[in-house]
Chains A and B, each alone.
Chain A
Amino acid sequence: MESLKMEEIIIILKNEISQSIHLINTIPNDFGIGVSPQYVRPVIEALIHQFKIYHLSAITGQQWVKEPSQIELIYHFWNGKGLSIHTILKRDNPQIPSIIDIIPGADFYEREVSEMYGVRFVNRPNMPPLLLPDDWQGVPPMLLLENEDEQN
Protein backbone atom coordinates (compact mmCIF):
# COMPACT_ATOMS: atom_id res chain seq x y z
CA MET A 1 0.00 0.00 0.00
CA GLU A 2 1.77 3.14 -1.23
CA SER A 3 1.38 6.54 0.38
CA LEU A 4 -0.32 7.86 -2.77
CA LYS A 5 -2.92 5.16 -2.43
CA MET A 6 -3.64 6.27 1.13
CA GLU A 7 -4.52 9.72 -0.19
CA GLU A 8 -6.76 8.10 -2.76
CA ILE A 9 -8.49 6.10 -0.07
CA ILE A 10 -9.52 9.22 1.81
CA ILE A 11 -10.85 10.89 -1.39
CA ILE A 12 -12.94 7.81 -2.18
CA LEU A 13 -14.23 7.61 1.40
CA LYS A 14 -15.14 11.31 1.33
CA ASN A 15 -17.04 10.98 -1.92
CA GLU A 16 -18.80 7.75 -1.04
CA ILE A 17 -19.52 8.12 2.67
CA SER A 18 -19.27 11.65 4.01
CA GLN A 19 -17.43 14.88 3.30
CA SER A 20 -16.78 15.23 7.04
CA ILE A 21 -14.13 12.47 6.89
CA HIS A 22 -10.73 14.08 7.30
CA LEU A 23 -7.05 13.33 7.53
CA ILE A 24 -5.29 13.10 10.92
CA ASN A 25 -1.52 12.96 10.95
CA THR A 26 -0.62 13.08 14.63
CA ILE A 27 0.98 9.60 14.65
CA PRO A 28 4.16 9.24 12.58
CA ASN A 29 4.12 6.44 9.97
CA ASP A 30 0.43 5.95 10.55
CA PHE A 31 -2.29 7.22 8.26
CA GLY A 32 -5.08 8.66 10.39
CA ILE A 33 -8.68 9.14 9.32
CA GLY A 34 -11.00 11.26 11.48
CA VAL A 35 -14.58 9.97 11.35
CA SER A 36 -17.82 10.72 13.23
CA PRO A 37 -19.06 7.69 15.21
CA GLN A 38 -21.95 6.97 12.83
CA TYR A 39 -19.55 6.61 9.88
CA VAL A 40 -17.04 4.25 11.56
CA ARG A 41 -18.90 1.15 10.40
CA PRO A 42 -19.32 2.20 6.76
CA VAL A 43 -15.66 3.26 6.63
CA ILE A 44 -14.48 -0.09 8.02
CA GLU A 45 -16.74 -1.96 5.58
CA ALA A 46 -15.19 0.04 2.74
CA LEU A 47 -11.66 -0.67 4.01
CA ILE A 48 -12.33 -4.40 4.03
CA HIS A 49 -14.31 -4.80 0.82
CA GLN A 50 -12.84 -2.10 -1.40
CA PHE A 51 -9.26 -1.80 -0.18
CA LYS A 52 -8.66 -5.27 1.30
CA ILE A 53 -7.44 -3.83 4.60
CA TYR A 54 -8.75 -6.37 7.06
CA HIS A 55 -6.23 -6.68 9.87
CA LEU A 56 -7.45 -4.83 12.98
CA SER A 57 -4.56 -4.72 15.46
CA ALA A 58 -6.39 -3.10 18.35
CA ILE A 59 -9.02 -0.64 19.49
CA THR A 60 -7.57 1.98 21.80
CA GLY A 61 -9.81 4.03 24.05
CA GLN A 62 -8.44 7.14 25.63
CA GLN A 63 -9.37 10.37 27.35
CA TRP A 64 -7.56 13.65 26.99
CA VAL A 65 -7.26 15.87 30.08
CA LYS A 66 -8.03 18.97 28.03
CA GLU A 67 -11.29 17.39 26.83
CA PRO A 68 -12.55 15.30 29.78
CA SER A 69 -16.09 15.21 28.39
CA GLN A 70 -14.96 13.12 25.44
CA ILE A 71 -13.66 9.61 24.86
CA GLU A 72 -11.54 8.99 21.79
CA LEU A 73 -11.57 5.58 20.10
CA ILE A 74 -8.83 4.60 17.67
CA TYR A 75 -9.23 1.55 15.43
CA HIS A 76 -5.70 0.54 14.44
CA PHE A 77 -5.52 -1.29 11.12
CA TRP A 78 -2.44 -2.62 9.41
CA ASN A 79 -1.74 -3.75 5.89
CA GLY A 80 1.97 -3.26 5.36
CA LYS A 81 1.48 0.22 6.79
CA GLY A 82 -0.52 1.51 9.70
CA LEU A 83 -3.95 3.05 9.22
CA SER A 84 -6.02 4.35 12.11
CA ILE A 85 -9.61 5.47 12.34
CA HIS A 86 -10.14 8.10 15.02
CA THR A 87 -13.54 8.91 16.42
CA ILE A 88 -14.80 10.97 19.34
CA LEU A 89 -17.61 9.88 21.67
CA LYS A 90 -19.39 11.82 24.42
CA ARG A 91 -18.39 10.67 27.91
CA ASP A 92 -21.89 10.99 29.34
CA ASN A 93 -23.39 8.72 26.65
CA PRO A 94 -20.63 6.90 24.82
CA GLN A 95 -22.09 4.60 22.21
CA ILE A 96 -21.04 3.38 18.79
CA PRO A 97 -22.21 0.62 16.42
CA SER A 98 -20.42 -2.68 16.93
CA ILE A 99 -18.29 -4.13 14.12
CA ILE A 100 -18.05 -7.76 15.26
CA ASP A 101 -20.28 -8.96 12.44
CA ILE A 102 -17.78 -7.62 9.90
CA ILE A 103 -14.62 -8.34 11.94
CA PRO A 104 -15.30 -11.19 14.42
CA GLY A 105 -11.82 -10.65 15.86
CA ALA A 106 -12.95 -7.27 17.23
CA ASP A 107 -15.05 -9.01 19.90
CA PHE A 108 -12.43 -8.94 22.67
CA TYR A 109 -11.28 -5.45 21.71
CA GLU A 110 -14.83 -4.09 21.99
CA ARG A 111 -15.47 -5.88 25.28
CA GLU A 112 -12.27 -4.45 26.75
CA VAL A 113 -13.06 -0.88 25.68
CA SER A 114 -16.59 -1.31 26.97
CA GLU A 115 -15.37 -2.38 30.41
CA MET A 116 -12.53 0.06 30.73
CA TYR A 117 -14.30 3.17 29.39
CA GLY A 118 -18.00 2.37 29.69
CA VAL A 119 -18.50 2.59 25.92
CA ARG A 120 -21.70 0.89 24.74
CA PHE A 121 -21.33 -1.02 21.48
CA VAL A 122 -24.82 -1.26 19.99
CA ASN A 123 -26.17 -4.06 17.83
CA ARG A 124 -24.11 -6.85 19.29
CA PRO A 125 -25.60 -9.90 21.00
CA ASN A 126 -24.02 -9.96 24.43
CA MET A 127 -21.31 -8.27 26.39
CA PRO A 128 -20.17 -10.64 29.17
CA PRO A 129 -17.37 -9.42 31.43
CA LEU A 130 -13.91 -9.95 29.99
CA LEU A 131 -11.29 -8.72 32.43
CA LEU A 132 -13.14 -7.21 35.41
CA PRO A 133 -14.83 -9.31 38.13
CA ASP A 134 -18.46 -10.31 37.59
CA ASP A 135 -19.57 -8.15 40.52
CA TRP A 136 -17.61 -5.03 39.56
CA GLN A 137 -19.60 -2.00 40.78
CA GLY A 138 -17.28 0.95 40.35
CA VAL A 139 -16.78 3.37 37.49
CA PRO A 140 -15.01 2.03 34.41
CA PRO A 141 -11.41 1.89 35.66
CA MET A 142 -9.62 3.63 32.81
CA LEU A 143 -11.80 6.76 32.94
CA LEU A 144 -10.02 9.75 34.42
CA LEU A 145 -11.56 10.64 37.75
CA GLU A 146 -12.79 14.13 38.54
CA ASN A 147 -9.91 16.52 39.20
CA GLU A 148 -7.50 13.85 38.10
CA ASP A 149 -4.57 15.20 36.25
CA GLU A 150 -2.54 13.04 33.88
CA GLN A 151 0.52 14.07 35.84
CA ASN A 152 -0.43 12.70 39.26
Chain B
Amino acid sequence: MNKISIPIGPQHPLIKEPISFNIDISGERVLGCDMRLGYVHRGIERLAIKRNYTQNIHLIERVCGICSHVHTTAYCYGVEKLLGVEIPERAQYIRALMCEMERIHSHLLWLGILAKHIGLDTIFMHTWHDREMVLDSMEVISGGRVTHAVNKIGGVRCDITPDHQDMLLTMLSELRVQVDKLLEVMDHDGSLKARTKGVAPITVEQIKAYCVVGPIARASGVDIDLRRDAPLPPYDRLEFNVITRQDGDAWSRTILRVEEMRESINLCEKILNNLPVGAIEIRAPRKVPPGEVIVRTEAPRGELFYYLRSNGTDMPARLKIRTPTLPALGILPAQLSSIHVADIPVVLAGVDLCIACADR
Protein backbone atom coordinates (compact mmCIF):
# COMPACT_ATOMS: atom_id res chain seq x y z
CA MET B 1 0.00 0.00 0.00
CA ASN B 2 1.19 3.53 -0.71
CA LYS B 3 2.85 5.61 1.94
CA ILE B 4 1.05 8.82 2.85
CA SER B 5 2.54 11.60 4.98
CA ILE B 6 0.17 13.55 7.18
CA PRO B 7 1.41 16.84 8.60
CA ILE B 8 -0.08 17.58 12.04
CA GLY B 9 0.56 20.98 13.59
CA PRO B 10 2.39 23.18 14.37
CA GLN B 11 -0.80 24.98 15.42
CA HIS B 12 -1.98 23.13 18.51
CA PRO B 13 -1.84 19.48 17.52
CA LEU B 14 -3.68 17.75 20.35
CA ILE B 15 -2.33 20.09 23.01
CA LYS B 16 -2.44 23.86 23.18
CA GLU B 17 1.22 24.17 22.37
CA PRO B 18 2.98 24.38 19.03
CA ILE B 19 4.85 21.38 17.67
CA SER B 20 4.82 19.89 14.22
CA PHE B 21 4.58 16.18 13.46
CA ASN B 22 4.88 14.55 10.07
CA ILE B 23 3.36 11.13 10.40
CA ASP B 24 3.84 8.50 7.68
CA ILE B 25 1.00 6.03 7.34
CA SER B 26 0.12 3.13 5.14
CA GLY B 27 -3.55 2.24 5.31
CA GLU B 28 -4.46 2.16 9.00
CA ARG B 29 -0.89 1.60 10.17
CA VAL B 30 1.60 4.25 11.23
CA LEU B 31 5.04 3.71 9.71
CA GLY B 32 6.98 6.39 11.52
CA CYS B 33 7.13 10.08 12.33
CA ASP B 34 9.29 13.17 12.12
CA MET B 35 8.88 16.16 14.35
CA ARG B 36 9.94 19.77 14.46
CA LEU B 37 10.40 21.72 17.66
CA GLY B 38 11.43 25.31 18.20
CA TYR B 39 8.18 27.21 17.71
CA VAL B 40 8.38 28.50 21.30
CA HIS B 41 12.15 28.69 21.57
CA ARG B 42 12.85 31.82 23.58
CA GLY B 43 16.59 31.48 24.09
CA ILE B 44 16.25 31.36 27.86
CA GLU B 45 19.73 29.91 28.36
CA ARG B 46 21.21 32.85 26.45
CA LEU B 47 19.02 35.41 28.23
CA ALA B 48 20.00 33.99 31.62
CA ILE B 49 23.65 35.00 31.27
CA LYS B 50 22.56 38.61 30.72
CA ARG B 51 20.52 38.87 33.92
CA ASN B 52 21.40 38.76 37.57
CA TYR B 53 20.54 35.83 39.82
CA THR B 54 17.35 37.42 41.16
CA GLN B 55 16.05 38.49 37.74
CA ASN B 56 16.71 34.96 36.51
CA ILE B 57 14.17 33.51 38.96
CA HIS B 58 11.43 35.34 37.09
CA LEU B 59 12.87 34.34 33.72
CA ILE B 60 13.18 30.67 34.65
CA GLU B 61 9.71 30.54 36.12
CA ARG B 62 8.51 31.14 32.57
CA VAL B 63 10.25 28.13 31.06
CA CYS B 64 7.09 26.14 31.69
CA GLY B 65 3.48 27.11 32.25
CA ILE B 66 2.62 23.99 34.23
CA CYS B 67 5.63 23.10 36.36
CA SER B 68 6.92 26.64 36.84
CA HIS B 69 7.65 26.20 40.55
CA VAL B 70 9.93 23.18 40.24
CA HIS B 71 12.14 25.09 37.79
CA THR B 72 12.77 27.93 40.22
CA THR B 73 13.21 25.42 43.05
CA ALA B 74 16.00 23.63 41.17
CA TYR B 75 17.58 26.95 40.21
CA CYS B 76 17.42 28.43 43.72
CA TYR B 77 18.88 25.28 45.31
CA GLY B 78 21.71 25.52 42.77
CA VAL B 79 22.46 29.16 43.56
CA GLU B 80 22.22 28.50 47.30
CA LYS B 81 24.65 25.60 46.95
CA LEU B 82 27.13 27.89 45.18
CA LEU B 83 26.63 30.49 47.92
CA GLY B 84 27.12 27.82 50.56
CA VAL B 85 23.95 28.77 52.42
CA GLU B 86 21.18 26.55 53.70
CA ILE B 87 17.67 27.91 53.78
CA PRO B 88 15.44 27.55 56.87
CA GLU B 89 13.63 24.25 57.28
CA ARG B 90 10.23 25.90 57.02
CA ALA B 91 11.15 27.31 53.62
CA GLN B 92 12.27 23.88 52.42
CA TYR B 93 8.92 22.41 53.44
CA ILE B 94 6.96 25.20 51.73
CA ARG B 95 8.97 24.63 48.54
CA ALA B 96 8.21 20.90 48.67
CA LEU B 97 4.52 21.57 49.37
CA MET B 98 4.24 23.73 46.26
CA CYS B 99 6.14 21.13 44.22
CA GLU B 100 3.70 18.40 45.26
CA MET B 101 0.64 20.56 44.57
CA GLU B 102 2.14 21.30 41.18
CA ARG B 103 2.58 17.57 40.53
CA ILE B 104 -1.08 16.98 41.40
CA HIS B 105 -2.40 19.70 39.09
CA SER B 106 -0.01 18.72 36.30
CA HIS B 107 -1.19 15.10 36.41
CA LEU B 108 -4.83 16.22 36.56
CA LEU B 109 -4.35 18.47 33.55
CA TRP B 110 -2.71 15.66 31.64
CA LEU B 111 -5.40 13.14 32.55
CA GLY B 112 -8.06 15.57 31.33
CA ILE B 113 -6.31 15.94 27.97
CA LEU B 114 -5.98 12.17 27.57
CA ALA B 115 -9.64 11.60 28.50
CA LYS B 116 -10.80 14.30 26.09
CA HIS B 117 -8.94 12.75 23.18
CA ILE B 118 -10.24 9.30 23.98
CA GLY B 119 -13.75 10.75 23.97
CA LEU B 120 -14.43 10.59 27.71
CA ASP B 121 -15.47 14.20 28.17
CA THR B 122 -16.95 13.55 31.61
CA ILE B 123 -13.55 12.58 33.04
CA PHE B 124 -12.04 15.60 31.32
CA MET B 125 -14.52 17.96 33.00
CA HIS B 126 -14.14 16.36 36.43
CA THR B 127 -10.34 16.38 36.36
CA TRP B 128 -10.16 19.99 35.22
CA HIS B 129 -12.65 20.98 37.89
CA ASP B 130 -10.49 19.25 40.51
CA ARG B 131 -7.40 20.91 39.07
CA GLU B 132 -9.00 24.31 39.66
CA MET B 133 -9.26 23.48 43.37
CA VAL B 134 -5.48 23.02 43.51
CA LEU B 135 -4.79 26.11 41.41
CA ASP B 136 -7.10 28.24 43.54
CA SER B 137 -5.29 27.10 46.70
CA MET B 138 -1.94 27.92 45.14
CA GLU B 139 -3.31 31.33 44.20
CA VAL B 140 -4.43 31.97 47.77
CA ILE B 141 -0.92 31.15 49.04
CA SER B 142 1.14 32.94 46.42
CA GLY B 143 -1.12 35.30 44.51
CA GLY B 144 -0.52 33.53 41.20
CA ARG B 145 -2.31 30.66 39.53
CA VAL B 146 0.39 29.66 37.08
CA THR B 147 3.53 31.61 37.93
CA HIS B 148 3.60 31.56 41.70
CA ALA B 149 6.90 33.40 42.34
CA VAL B 150 7.18 31.61 45.69
CA ASN B 151 10.92 31.03 45.55
CA LYS B 152 13.63 33.53 46.19
CA ILE B 153 17.32 32.99 46.73
CA GLY B 154 17.61 32.24 50.44
CA GLY B 155 14.09 30.94 51.03
CA VAL B 156 10.51 31.59 50.01
CA ARG B 157 8.41 34.71 49.64
CA CYS B 158 5.09 33.40 50.98
CA ASP B 159 4.40 31.88 54.34
CA ILE B 160 1.72 29.30 55.12
CA THR B 161 -0.55 30.79 57.77
CA PRO B 162 -2.79 28.64 60.05
CA ASP B 163 -5.73 29.71 57.86
CA HIS B 164 -3.88 28.47 54.77
CA GLN B 165 -3.15 25.22 56.54
CA ASP B 166 -6.84 24.61 57.33
CA MET B 167 -7.90 25.58 53.83
CA LEU B 168 -5.31 23.28 52.23
CA LEU B 169 -6.14 20.31 54.45
CA THR B 170 -9.85 20.67 53.61
CA MET B 171 -9.06 20.97 49.91
CA LEU B 172 -6.77 17.92 50.04
CA SER B 173 -9.37 15.73 51.75
CA GLU B 174 -11.94 16.75 49.11
CA LEU B 175 -9.41 16.04 46.40
CA ARG B 176 -8.60 12.62 47.84
CA VAL B 177 -12.28 11.65 47.56
CA GLN B 178 -12.32 12.86 43.96
CA VAL B 179 -9.13 11.01 43.02
CA ASP B 180 -10.35 7.80 44.65
CA LYS B 181 -13.58 8.12 42.75
CA LEU B 182 -11.61 8.70 39.57
CA LEU B 183 -9.56 5.55 40.15
CA GLU B 184 -12.74 3.57 40.70
CA VAL B 185 -14.32 4.90 37.52
CA MET B 186 -11.16 4.20 35.52
CA ASP B 187 -10.95 0.70 36.88
CA HIS B 188 -14.51 -0.06 35.84
CA ASP B 189 -14.62 1.86 32.58
CA GLY B 190 -14.30 -0.56 29.73
CA SER B 191 -13.81 2.06 27.04
CA LEU B 192 -10.77 3.66 28.73
CA LYS B 193 -9.14 0.28 29.14
CA ALA B 194 -10.02 -0.70 25.59
CA ARG B 195 -8.33 2.43 24.24
CA THR B 196 -5.18 2.23 26.38
CA LYS B 197 -4.41 -1.36 27.39
CA GLY B 198 -1.57 -2.81 25.39
CA VAL B 199 -1.23 0.37 23.30
CA ALA B 200 2.32 1.48 22.43
CA PRO B 201 4.22 -0.40 25.14
CA ILE B 202 7.72 0.82 25.97
CA THR B 203 10.28 -1.76 27.03
CA VAL B 204 12.92 -1.28 29.72
CA GLU B 205 15.60 -1.46 27.01
CA GLN B 206 13.94 1.43 25.15
CA ILE B 207 13.71 3.45 28.36
CA LYS B 208 17.45 2.97 28.90
CA ALA B 209 18.41 3.64 25.29
CA TYR B 210 16.39 6.85 25.03
CA CYS B 211 17.27 8.03 28.57
CA VAL B 212 13.55 8.44 29.35
CA VAL B 213 12.69 9.55 32.87
CA GLY B 214 9.79 10.08 35.24
CA PRO B 215 6.34 8.48 35.10
CA ILE B 216 6.97 6.96 31.64
CA ALA B 217 10.04 5.13 32.94
CA ARG B 218 8.25 4.07 36.13
CA ALA B 219 5.30 2.75 34.11
CA SER B 220 7.75 0.40 32.36
CA GLY B 221 9.13 -0.91 35.64
CA VAL B 222 12.22 1.30 35.96
CA ASP B 223 12.22 2.20 39.63
CA ILE B 224 13.63 5.72 39.57
CA ASP B 225 12.38 8.79 41.43
CA LEU B 226 14.83 11.56 42.19
CA ARG B 227 12.86 12.66 45.24
CA ARG B 228 14.08 9.40 46.77
CA ASP B 229 17.29 8.73 44.83
CA ALA B 230 18.86 12.22 44.85
CA PRO B 231 16.70 14.11 47.33
CA LEU B 232 16.77 17.84 47.70
CA PRO B 233 15.77 18.82 51.23
CA PRO B 234 13.23 18.14 52.75
CA TYR B 235 12.50 14.98 50.72
CA ASP B 236 15.28 13.19 52.61
CA ARG B 237 13.10 13.55 55.73
CA LEU B 238 9.76 12.65 54.14
CA GLU B 239 8.49 9.15 53.59
CA PHE B 240 6.55 8.25 50.48
CA ASN B 241 6.08 5.37 48.10
CA VAL B 242 7.46 5.36 44.59
CA ILE B 243 4.79 3.89 42.33
CA THR B 244 5.92 1.59 39.54
CA ARG B 245 4.08 -0.53 37.00
CA GLN B 246 5.44 -3.28 34.79
CA ASP B 247 3.53 -3.26 31.51
CA GLY B 248 4.76 0.04 30.05
CA ASP B 249 1.61 0.56 27.95
CA ALA B 250 -0.66 3.60 27.81
CA TRP B 251 -2.89 2.13 30.53
CA SER B 252 0.07 1.72 32.94
CA ARG B 253 1.13 5.30 32.30
CA THR B 254 -2.41 6.47 32.99
CA ILE B 255 -3.08 4.58 36.19
CA LEU B 256 0.44 5.26 37.50
CA ARG B 257 -0.05 9.00 37.33
CA VAL B 258 -3.38 8.80 39.15
CA GLU B 259 -1.78 6.72 41.90
CA GLU B 260 1.07 9.22 42.06
CA MET B 261 -1.49 11.96 42.68
CA ARG B 262 -2.75 10.03 45.68
CA GLU B 263 0.79 9.72 46.98
CA SER B 264 1.34 13.46 46.47
CA ILE B 265 -1.85 14.24 48.41
CA ASN B 266 -0.45 12.15 51.30
CA LEU B 267 2.85 13.99 51.03
CA CYS B 268 1.15 17.40 51.12
CA GLU B 269 -0.74 16.39 54.25
CA LYS B 270 2.47 15.14 55.88
CA ILE B 271 4.19 18.42 55.06
CA LEU B 272 1.29 20.51 56.39
CA ASN B 273 1.04 18.49 59.60
CA ASN B 274 4.79 18.66 60.23
CA LEU B 275 5.50 22.19 59.06
CA PRO B 276 8.49 23.42 61.10
CA VAL B 277 8.18 26.80 62.79
CA GLY B 278 10.64 29.59 62.20
CA ALA B 279 11.87 31.95 59.53
CA ILE B 280 11.06 31.44 55.85
CA GLU B 281 14.10 33.14 54.39
CA ILE B 282 17.64 34.21 55.06
CA ARG B 283 19.52 37.08 53.52
CA ALA B 284 21.64 35.92 50.63
CA PRO B 285 24.48 37.91 49.02
CA ARG B 286 23.99 39.28 45.51
CA LYS B 287 27.34 38.08 44.19
CA VAL B 288 27.92 34.37 43.92
CA PRO B 289 31.43 32.90 44.35
CA PRO B 290 32.92 31.11 41.32
CA GLY B 291 31.92 27.50 40.98
CA GLU B 292 29.85 24.92 39.18
CA VAL B 293 26.86 22.98 40.41
CA ILE B 294 24.44 20.37 39.07
CA VAL B 295 20.91 20.05 40.45
CA ARG B 296 18.62 17.16 39.59
CA THR B 297 15.09 17.09 40.85
CA GLU B 298 11.86 15.25 40.12
CA ALA B 299 9.50 17.48 38.16
CA PRO B 300 5.97 16.18 37.42
CA ARG B 301 7.30 14.71 34.16
CA GLY B 302 10.56 13.31 35.55
CA GLU B 303 14.17 14.28 36.01
CA LEU B 304 14.76 18.01 35.69
CA PHE B 305 18.43 18.83 35.18
CA TYR B 306 20.13 22.15 35.89
CA TYR B 307 23.81 22.97 35.38
CA LEU B 308 24.89 26.33 36.73
CA ARG B 309 28.31 27.97 36.53
CA SER B 310 29.20 31.16 38.33
CA ASN B 311 32.18 33.41 37.63
CA GLY B 312 32.08 35.42 40.84
CA THR B 313 29.76 38.19 39.63
CA ASP B 314 26.03 38.72 40.16
CA MET B 315 25.20 37.05 36.83
CA PRO B 316 25.60 33.36 35.95
CA ALA B 317 28.23 32.46 33.36
CA ARG B 318 26.25 29.45 32.10
CA LEU B 319 22.87 28.00 32.87
CA LYS B 320 21.92 24.74 31.19
CA ILE B 321 18.40 23.39 31.53
CA ARG B 322 17.35 19.91 30.39
CA THR B 323 13.69 19.29 30.87
CA PRO B 324 12.11 15.81 31.09
CA THR B 325 9.99 16.31 27.96
CA LEU B 326 13.04 16.28 25.67
CA PRO B 327 13.90 12.56 26.14
CA ALA B 328 10.17 11.77 26.12
CA LEU B 329 9.93 13.37 22.68
CA GLY B 330 12.93 11.35 21.54
CA ILE B 331 11.14 8.07 22.08
CA LEU B 332 7.94 9.17 20.27
CA PRO B 333 8.96 7.94 16.78
CA ALA B 334 9.68 4.50 18.26
CA GLN B 335 6.35 4.52 20.06
CA LEU B 336 4.37 5.66 17.04
CA SER B 337 5.74 3.10 14.61
CA SER B 338 3.39 0.23 13.82
CA ILE B 339 0.41 1.48 15.85
CA HIS B 340 -3.08 2.18 14.46
CA VAL B 341 -3.85 5.68 13.20
CA ALA B 342 -6.68 5.92 15.74
CA ASP B 343 -4.18 5.39 18.58
CA ILE B 344 -2.04 8.41 17.66
CA PRO B 345 -3.83 10.78 20.11
CA VAL B 346 -3.58 8.20 22.92
CA VAL B 347 0.17 7.87 22.40
CA LEU B 348 0.81 11.60 22.02
CA ALA B 349 -1.30 12.43 25.07
CA GLY B 350 0.19 9.55 27.06
CA VAL B 351 3.66 11.08 26.87
CA ASP B 352 2.49 14.21 28.73
CA LEU B 353 4.27 16.63 26.43
CA CYS B 354 5.26 20.10 27.54
CA ILE B 355 6.60 21.79 24.45
CA ALA B 356 7.50 25.08 26.12
CA CYS B 357 9.74 23.07 28.47
CA ALA B 358 11.41 21.23 25.61
CA ASP B 359 12.00 24.39 23.55
CA ARG B 360 13.01 26.75 26.35
Q: Does B320 touch A at the CB level, under 8 Å?
A: yes
Whether B211 contacts A57 by the Cβ 8 Å rule is yes
Q: Mark A126-138, 1 if CB is under 8 A from B, else 0.
A: 0011111100000
Q: Which residues of B contact A82 (CB under 8 A)?
A: 294, 296
Q: How far is the CB of A133 from chain B (nearest CB, A)?
A: 7
Q: Which residues of A contact B49 (CB under 8 A)?
A: 150
Binds A, one of B91-99, B170-178, B270-278, B325-333: B325-333
Whether B326 contacts A108 by the Cβ 8 Å rule is yes
- Known contacts A58-B307, A76-B307; is A142 also within 8 Å of B317 by CB? no
Whether B296 contacts A141 by the Cβ 8 Å rule is no
Whether A151 contacts B294 by the Cβ 8 Å rule is no
Interface size on A, residues (CB 8 A): 39
Whether A105 contacts B330 by the Cβ 8 Å rule is yes
Interface size on B, residues (CB 8 A): 41
Q: Mark B225-255, 1 if CB is under 8 A from A, else 0.
A: 0000110000000000000000000000000
The one of A107, A128, A150 in contact with B317, judged by C-beta atoms closer than 8 angstroms, is: A150
The one of B50, B291, B322 in contact with A57, judged by C-beta atoms closer than 8 angstroms, is: B322
Q: How far is the CB of A150 from chain B (nearest CB, A)?
A: 5
Chain A residues within CB distance 8 Å of chain B? 26-30, 54-58, 60, 62, 64-65, 74, 76, 78, 80, 82, 84, 103-109, 116, 128-133, 141-142, 150-152
For this complex, 25 residue pairs linking A to B, each with C-beta atoms less than 8 Å apart, are: A26-B292, A27-B292, A28-B293, A54-B208, A54-B211, A55-B208, A57-B296, A57-B322, A58-B305, A58-B320, A58-B322, A60-B307, A60-B320, A65-B311, A78-B303, A84-B294, A105-B212, A105-B327, A108-B327, A109-B322, A116-B45, A129-B36, A130-B37, A131-B37, A150-B313
Chain B residues within CB distance 8 Å of chain A? 36-38, 41, 43, 45-46, 49-50, 81, 208-213, 229-230, 291-294, 296, 303, 305, 307, 309, 311, 313, 315, 317-318, 320, 322, 326-327, 329-331, 359-360
